[in-house]
Amino acid sequence: MSIQAYAVHEARQPLALWQYEPQPLGALDVEVDITHCGICHSDLHLVDGEWGGSFPKVVGHEIIGVIRAVGSAVDRARLGQRVGIGWQRSTCLDCEYCLRGEENLCHAAQATCKEHYGGFARAIRLDSRFCHPIPDALASVNAAPLLCAGITVYAPLRRYGANATTRVGVVGIGGLGHLAIQYARAMGCHVTAFTTTPAKAKEAHALGADRAVITTREGALKSVRSSIDLLIVTVAVPLDWLEYAKTLRRNGTLCFVGASPDSVSVPIGLLISNQWQLTGGSIGGRALMREMLAFSAQHGVVAQTELLPFSEVNTALERLRRNDVRYRFVLAWE
């Protein structure tokens, strides 16, 4: 059998329908019929050839679908189960990180759509242990982006102990940021959104932010100095990171999750006297992924999406290049 997919054959070229022969179904593998796939900025980096990998490429790693075939060692009860697949399609499951539930740190991790063909396709075959059941309360169109954008912002909130006494800041109100605000709010945190326009500030309040800072205004960052415990940066543009660090309270954490080529410089004296942590985070392990899905279902955290048919994938990618999306594109087969 062959799998139909939208593939890019050369960097920056439009995607076109294409077919590939999947690897034989391994004992622990499943075959998933894809219904929905979100579009992440990482997909653009891959399409543009910026993150390596060979062509043709089939990107897409915010996948929702239904298990249609199971390998010999997979419970047949999983047939028909609705599952989600994120950035990782397998890891070694045996290193110190995997054993701790930090599969995202495994050196043997394989990405869903870098060395393999991903979610802009009718189906995918992969390790059943990386297919996460989707709670019934979540609609596929709103759940797809949780598999990458959702876990990317949920993980640092949990890693750095966000709770009802934590003052969380979120820089950038896009695909990642609009979910970060909702999660932080649902965890009981005080939430400050950092954005560039009054319109986005209004949206941030609607998403649950207690405070919105319009950073293009003179003295905006100064006015919120020493007021944030955990600042999550979702944007991938260079900013004055020292000024952002100064919004932190003592023991505060500045965590980058947007894939930015920029670097950070903060005087060591300030790190010492304030005990600030500068850190980054990339997705999360399998246990956290399942917790994030359960938390999303319980607290009604959903991605706000624009649904398009797969046939309009090139339109969606072009609009994403211009940041013309509220807040995530999700593709579905007609």
Q: Which residues are near Zn ion by CB under 5 A?
A: 40, 42, 91-92, 95, 98, 106, 148
Q: By C-beta, is 69 or 92 nearer to Zn ion?
A: 92
Q: By C-beta, is 91 or 166 nearer to Zn ion?
A: 91
Q: Is 112 left (phi over 0), alpha (psi -120 to 50) or beta?
A: alpha
Q: Is 14 left (phi over 0), alpha (psi -120 to 50) or beta?
A: beta
Q: By C-beta, is 92 or 220 nearer to Zn ion?
A: 92
CB of 223 to Zn ion, least distance (A): 33
CB of 98 to Zn ion, least distance (A): 3
Amino acid identity, residue 30?
A: V
CB of 72 to Zn ion, least distance (A): 24
Q: By C-beta, is 266 or 332 nearer to Zn ion?
A: 332
* Residue recorded with tokens 């869903």: 112
How far are the Cα atoms of 61, 122, 163, 176 from residue 40, in angstroms, in the given order? 8, 18, 28, 9
CA nearest 38: which of 323, 334, 320, 260?
320
Burial class (CB in 10 A: 0-12, 13-18, 19+), 212: buried
CA nearest 28: which of 58, 67, 85, 73?
73
CA nearest 186: which of 166, 200, 172?
166
CB of 276 to Zn ion, least distance (A): 27
**Cα 62 from Cα 258, distance rounded (Å):** 16
State the helix-helix crossing angle for 286-299 and 149-159, rounded to 10 degrees.
100
Q: By C-beta, is 130 or 276 nearer to Zn ion?
A: 130
Amino acid identity, residue 239?
A: L
CB of 282 to Zn ion, least distance (A): 10
CB of 79 to Zn ion, least distance (A): 28
Q: By C-beta, is 20 or 51 nearer to Zn ion?
A: 51
The answer to whether the peptide bond before residue 327 is cis (omega within 30 degrees of 0) is yes
CB of 107 to Zn ion, least distance (A): 7
Q: By C-beta, is 53 or 78 nearer to Zn ion?
A: 53
